[in-house]
A and B are shown apart, each in its own frame.
Chain A
Amino acid sequence: MSFFQLTGLRKTFGGLVAVNDLSFSIEAGSIVAMIGPNGAGKSTVFNLITGIYRPTSGSIDLEGRSLCRLRTDAITALGVARTFQNIRLFSFMSALDNVMTGRHAQMHANLVASLLHTPGQRAEERRAHERARELLRFVDLEPSSHEYARNLPYGHQRRLEIARALATDPKLLLLDEPAAGMNPREKDDLVALIERIRKSGVTIFLIEHDMRVVMNISERVTVLDHGEKIAEGPPEVVRNDERVIEAYLGRADGAA
């Protein structure tokens, strides 16, 4: 049994087949990338994993447990966190509060404790606060703790979103185009950050268009085109796969 497994995953919207019979697995502790042309269905796969969409058929399993019928918040609690292609931070909350909100599922204060600020609730808040600071330090954002998320520079917002996702104590972290809009220097920092996250024991599954980033960090690459897997393997193999080149560049004989 693999750590994370997609089996025969299919999603249709009316007549449109967004994801078709997609199967692959991810080993614990690895970094896996999913690439493919625009509209290939990559983000749909993420939305299926986190419970935004229900699969038409097929299954999604994390550590042998099916995620298919669960609500998004329950999936997060089981250990799947994500970032978004177009950053979705809580704009008018401080960086620190964004990360503390990420602790939600790991905190247990009930209504009465929240109303009365019981000693247990206070201790839990303090722990969450410390953990949030730790994570901000981890992504090099500690000096910006009290800035509104919205006022941070773009690259910092991306890192803050990663910190918020890490606050949920994920086993599997889904990154949706983490390098989008970054300059080369920021990309290098990002690659280093992703490596550090993996070292801390989190498995990483990312969608990325930037080939330098993908080839640099991923152990395996899955290529999606028109909702179907057309190639899979180590980056250097996938890079030279004819079907992949064809999907990206069109056919050599000019028919495309």
Chain B
Amino acid sequence: MQAGRYSTYALLALVLIFPLLDRNNSHIDFLVNAGAFILLALGLNIVVGFAGLLDLGYAAFFAIGSYSYAMLASAQFGLHVPFWVMLFFAASIAALFGILLGAPTLRLRGDYLAIVTLGFGEIVPQTFLNLGQWTNGPNGIGSLDRPSAPGLLLGAPDWKLHLFGLNDATPYYYVTLALIALGVLLASNLQNSRLGRAWMAIREDELAARHVGINTTVTKLSAFALGASFSGLAGVVYSAKLNLVSPDEFQFSVSILVLSMLVLGGMGNIWGVIVGSFLLSFVNGFLLPQSTNLAHAVGLNLDFTNYRFFLYGAILVGMMLFRPEGLIPSRQRRAELRVALADAGVAAQEQAEYEGPPRT
């Protein structure tokens, strides 16, 4: 136990000083993107992991967060809302859309809910694509405002301290890290609260939940809203660093990617979700491009990044076969899945016995 604690501290310390150890900006840049996806995964985990509402269109809220920043903090409309205000603002806008898109799905469960959210996931980027006069359509919005550090607080003579350069991802790294820490704190607080228990209860038995006085409408909408607010934060950081948003960043594959992160890491478990999310980002943003470079260096004309979806698929199938509860599962999920699998096994056996021995 003690050793485990020390290695956790060592890992945290490493994460804190990493940009000082590794001065390669592309590495830091990659880590910021990975961090944005950790935020997304933490948010989706509230909806899918805690409340059990299968959302296949989560990228829509990422898009809404990103476009909020792009429209309100750029030359697009000449509005230059400060980055720090936008964090709060975009989270609120995304939460509002979480409620708006969640409301029509309240009566739906399981497959039906998944299909409707899938539809929303398609509608939102299409809308941004087609509202050309506001969003520049397929070209997206560029030259977004860069955050300025609150200079006076840091001892500078002026409020606007330009720490956030175009070619230095380090300040974004620390912003993302702080947001993740906040996200973990809020998500674990939620999990151990009246609201967290209500989500779990709805996931287990909605009818029984109503009978202990849970207003399922409010409870589900709060899951959609809070989950979406995380992706609002992710959208702001991600697009501010990238300095650009365009509709093709928010395709269906992004929703599936984030969901795969939950499946890989362990749905419902905050640490599992972080690990799963980091691993997939690592494969996606680092391992595949690097192996492609390596292949090119030795004269092989191979582009491994083209095999990305093949790899996601393989990971999902592998996980479902060998460790369906994820790498670091929540206790509850593991128990649920073990029982479900055992029941399926018994059913299969009964079926086999009923049909008699296999014919050869």
Q: A residues within 8 Å of B by Cβ?
A: 50, 52, 71-73, 76-77, 81-82, 84, 88-93, 97, 100-102, 104-107, 109, 111, 113-117, 121, 124-125, 128, 148, 150, 164-165, 167-168
Contact = CB atoms under 8 A, between A and B. Distances in A.
A82 B211 contact: yes
Given A115-B190, A117-B189, A121-B193, A101 B211 contact: no
23 contacts: A72-B211, A73-B214, A73-B216, A76-B210, A76-B211, A77-B213, A81-B211, A90-B200, A90-B201, A92-B332, A104-B194, A104-B198, A104-B201, A104-B214, A109-B193, A109-B195, A114-B194, A115-B186, A121-B194, A125-B194, A150-B335, A164-B212, A168-B212
Contacts of B45: none
Given A71-B215, A89-B205, 7 more contacts: A50-B211, A84-B208, A93-B197, A105-B213, A109-B194, A117-B189, A125-B194
Nearest to B212: A102
Given A90-B201, A148-B335, A101 B212 contact: yes
B12 interface: no
Given A104-B197, A109-B195, A114-B195, A73 B335 contact: no
Contact of B193 (A50, A71, A125): A125
Q: Which of B189, B190, B193, B210 has the most CB of A within 10 A?
A: B193
Interface in B201-233: 201, 204-205, 207-216, 222, 226
Instruction: Please give me the 6 A-B residue pairs with the lowest Cβ-Cβ distance, nearest first.
Output: A105-B213, A114-B193, A76-B213, A90-B204, A72-B210, A88-B208
Given A88-B205, A93-B201, A150 B212 contact: no
B196 interface: yes
Given A93-B200, A104-B194, A114-B196, A168 B213 contact: yes
A116 to B, nearest CB: 7
Interface of B: 186, 189-190, 192-198, 200-201, 204-205, 207-216, 222, 226, 332, 335-336, 339
A80 B190 CA distance: 28
Q: Which of A104, A106, A167 has the most CB of B within 10 A?
A: A104
A100 B208 CA distance: 14
B189 A104 contact: no
Nearest to A105: B213
A113 B215 CA distance: 18
B212 A111 contact: no
A92 B198 contact: no
Contacts, number: 106
Contacts of B196: 114
Contacts of B213: 73, 76-77, 102, 104-106, 168
Contacts of A148: 335
A101 B197 contact: yes
A244 B24 CA distance: 87
Contacts of B189: 114-117
B42 to A, nearest CB: 13
A77 B214 CA distance: 9
A115 B192 CA distance: 9
A50 B213 CA distance: 11
Nearest to A150: B339
Nearest to A107: B194
B299 to A, nearest CB: 54
Contacts of B222: 111
Contacts of A76: 210-213
A105 B208 contact: no
Nearest to A78: B213
A77 B55 CA distance: 31
Q: Which of A73, A76, A105, A115 has the most CB of B within 10 A?
A: A73
Contacts of A88: 205, 207-208, 211
A202 to B, nearest CB: 16
A167 B212 CA distance: 8
B43 to A, nearest CB: 13
B214 A92 contact: no
A170 to B, nearest CB: 10
Contacts of A111: 195, 222, 226
A73 B210 contact: yes
Contacts of A81: 211-212
A92 B50 CA distance: 13
A8 to B, nearest CB: 25
A101 B201 contact: yes
A19 to B, nearest CB: 20
A49 to B, nearest CB: 11
Nearest to A77: B213
Q: Which of A77, A100, A111 has the most CB of B within 10 A?
A: A111
A148 B339 CA distance: 12
Contacts of A116: 189
B214 A93 contact: no
B220 to A, nearest CB: 13
A89 B208 contact: yes
B224 to A, nearest CB: 13
